[in-house]
Amino acid sequence: MANEIDNIQTNLIETNALIEEHIHGGFGFDFLSCSAEEIVEFAKRITGYGVWGFFPTLATDTIERLKHQISEIKRAKSMLPENAADILGIHLEACFLNPEKKGIHDEKQLLAPSIENYKLIEDDFIKIVTLAPELDENFALCKYLSSRGVKVSAGHCTGSDLSAVSQVTHLFNAMGTFNHKTPSTAVSALADDRIATEIIADFRHVLPDVVKLVFKIKPQDKIILVSDALPIAHSELESIQFCGKTVFLKDNKAVDANGTMAGSTMFVSDIIKQLVRNGFCDLKTAVKMASTNIMPVEKKIYWDENLNIVKIK
């Protein structure tokens, strides 16, 4: 394999392959509605963007729809060919959110974060749960999830007590923001070196200077680059239905009719290229934030001098 790569081009940069920890779809495929066969097609195509594994992320919907899509994702996992990215588990960004910070999510489908309500959806393939810890009485659900090896991430929330979680979901977006006089989710996440921070560093969800500050404040191994990519990402679509709303592509941003920003139109490899080309960090540092900062990575990718991904093996 090494000789084959060398024959393609010399002076390639080897890094770990990438993981998409927070992604709702892409290429027109929506993990909240697509079939197992379409998820497999997504898994095959995303390898072209250096991705070795991904966590299909489910947004808020009915219990019935969520359970159906969990089954479809598990069926897709059983169908994956060797040349596809692995499905590493489900990221449930659904239901257990604070209505004050719901973002694009459907408020009518929100539930109180409780063990009883979680058991309506519970599945062993759910590996990450985003929730509002301030609504979780005595952190009962947080403790329940942690005891079962599920990563608990504070998101779409307002609380500043992060003692029962291990990370936050898309730092600054849909959470209690930075305030120098009032406790908030963002301040707690930045101040606590124990807390990992997802960040959508696309310079739209978070301004470039804020990204710089996060890179200075947080330990490098506690920064997780995520795309939060929507089905509209890397597609020819100009609008989609997402969380019961029409989301439009406007000025390279995905927004609803009220201008509320939804997820991203980029994949994590696009974000890495942007960070490196603008001097925020070197390539291997950026890749680490979207690979081994999340979990051990088995595969390698090779980049050329223009940051094109030439090969994954």
Asked if residues 226 and 206 have their Cβ atoms less than 8 Å apart, the reply is: no
- The domain of 115 spans 2-312
Distance CA 76, CA 54 (A): 12
pLDDT at site 9: 60
pLDDT at site 252: 81
Distance CA 8, CA 14 (A): 14
Specify the pTM.
0.95
**In terms of Cα–Cα distance, which of 118, 105, 179 is closest to 145?**
118
State how beta strands 300-303 and 51-59 pair.
unpaired
Local structure of 120: helix, strand or coil:
coil
* pLDDT block averages, 10 residues each, the chain of length 313: 49 96 97 97 98 98 98 98 97 98 94 98 98 98 98 98 98 90 95 98 96 98 98 93 89 85 94 98 98 96 96 88
pLDDT at site 260: 84
Asked if residues 175 and 185 have their Cβ atoms less than 8 Å apart, the reply is: yes
Asked if residues 123 and 148 have their Cβ atoms less than 8 Å apart, the reply is: no
pLDDT at site 255: 87
Report the domain count for the chain.
1
Q: How many CA atoms lie within 13 A of 188 on its CB side?
A: 22
- Where residue 266 sits, what CATH number does that domain have? 3.20.20.140
